[in-house]
Amino acid sequence: MSYKWMYKRFVSILLRPSQTWEEIAREDEGVDVLSSYFYPLMGLAGLVSFIAYFVVGYVGDASQPFALFKDAIIGCCVTCVPVFLSFFVSAFVLGKVARSLFGVVVAQSDIYRLLGYSMTVLFVTYTVLAFPIDFKILVWLCQVYTIFLVWEGCGRLFDFDDNRRLVFTVMAFLSEVVVAGGIYYLFCKFM
C-alpha cells in the first residue's frame, strides 16, 4: 500500500473522474480496492474526525478530558460506520440488482471497485461534517457529484447499455447515500 498512490487516486477521482475511471478499468483485477484505498481512507477520515471532535470539545470545555475522549470516539464512529455499512449494503444490493433486473452476473471485485472509488465523496462529506461549520447543505449537495462518479464508473467497468447504466447508477447512488445518511442520522439522533 502506497500513501502517495492513494493520495493521487483520491485527487484524480475527484478532479479527473473520466480519465481515472479509464485507468481503473485498465488495471489488473488483482488490485484490492478495499485494502489499498477504501480502508486506509476510512482510517484517515476517522482520524481527522477524532481530532476534530477532540479539539473542538477541548476548546469548548477542557475540564472533562474523558468526556472529550468519549465524544471524539463517538465522532470517529459517526464518520466511519455509515460509510462502512453503506459500502457492504450497496455491494449486496447492486449484485442483486444486476442479477435480478438485468440477468447479468457482475463480478464482486468490479462492484467493490465501483463503490470503493465512488464513495470518495462520502468520505469527504462525513469528515467535513465532523467540524462545527454551517456548510451542511453545501456538503449534502456535493453528494450529487457521487451520481457522476458512479455513472462514469459504470460506463468504464461494466458493459451496460445506457438504460441499464442509468438504473444501475441510480441504484448505486441511492444505496450509498441513503444507507449512509440514514445511519448518520440515527447516530446523531441517539448518540
The residue behind cell 455491494 is 91
What pLDDT does residue 180 have? 86
Q: Cell digits for 10?
A: 483520491
With beta carbons less than 8 A apart as the criterion, state whether 94 and 102 touch.
no
User: pLDDT tens-digit profile of 119-155?
Assistant: 998 888 888 777 776 666 766 777 888 899 999 999 9
Considering the entire predicted model, what is its pTM? 0.86
Query: Structural domain boundaries of the chain?
Result: 3-7+32-190
Residue 60's alpha-carbon distances to 54, 57, 64, 65, 68, in angstroms, are 10, 5, 10, 11, 10
Q: What is the DSSP letter of 76?
A: H
* Mean per-residue pLDDT, 16-22: 92
